[in-house]
Amino acid sequence: MKTKKRVMVIGAILLGVVLAGSAVVEAWGPGTWWGRGGGFPGSFRPGFGGRRNIQDFVLFRMDEMANNLNLTAAQRGKYDELRAGVKARLSEAADNRLALRKTLRAEMAKEPPDVEALVEKIKANIRETSAARQRNLDLFTAFYASLDNNQKKQLLREIRERTA
């Protein structure tokens, strides 16, 4: 009888701890570091928060690197151009992906779907994505050219660390 009573007391305590823990998690809710869709700035893991937050993540990383470079006013102007271009293209790319997905689903719902039209739409999307990335690279090249040798070395070191 004593053992049964101990098991019941321990079970009640564990149930209380689990309920209290779940109440805390529910209170934090989505969008916090613990809840679904949350994520610390500077981290990337499943549940970071969706397409728009990937844009925030990329811009956060870029800002972090730029702040470490101690940019001059002219360099800051080039960086702001780069940042604005990347932000616009990431936003545009997210919108394009959603539109393409909607178009593909609508076409696939037809009987029979026009596969050739689907392939052409996908190819057009690939060309648009490639052109946007090339424009971003052009902006990066202009920004990189504005840096002095020490800043270039520091930026390359940071890029190597993150891509290793």
pLDDT in tens, 66-94: 999 999 999 999 999 999 999 999 989 88
What DSSP state is assigned to residue 44? -
- Specify if 4 maps to a domain: no
What DSSP state is assigned to residue 99? H
Q: Are 100 and 117 spatial neighbours (Cβ–Cβ below 8 Å)?
A: no
- Specify if 31 maps to a domain: no
- For the cut 80, the answer to whether the pLDDT of residue 23 exceeds it is no
- Specify if 39 maps to a domain: no
For position 34, what pLDDT does the model report? 46
- Specify if 40 maps to a domain: no
The H-assigned helical ranges of the chain are 2-28, 51-68, 73-109, 115-145, 149-163
Q: Which residues contact 125 (CB under 8 A, 6 or more apart)?
A: 96, 100
User: Domain limits at 117?
Assistant: 49-163
- Specify if 86 maps to a domain: yes
Q: Are 155 and 69 spatial neighbours (Cβ–Cβ below 8 Å)?
A: yes
pTM over 0.75: no
How many domains is the chain partitioned into structurally? 1
- Specify if 26 maps to a domain: no
Per-residue pLDDT tens over the stretch 112-154: 888 898 899 999 999 999 999 999 999 999 999 999 999 999 9
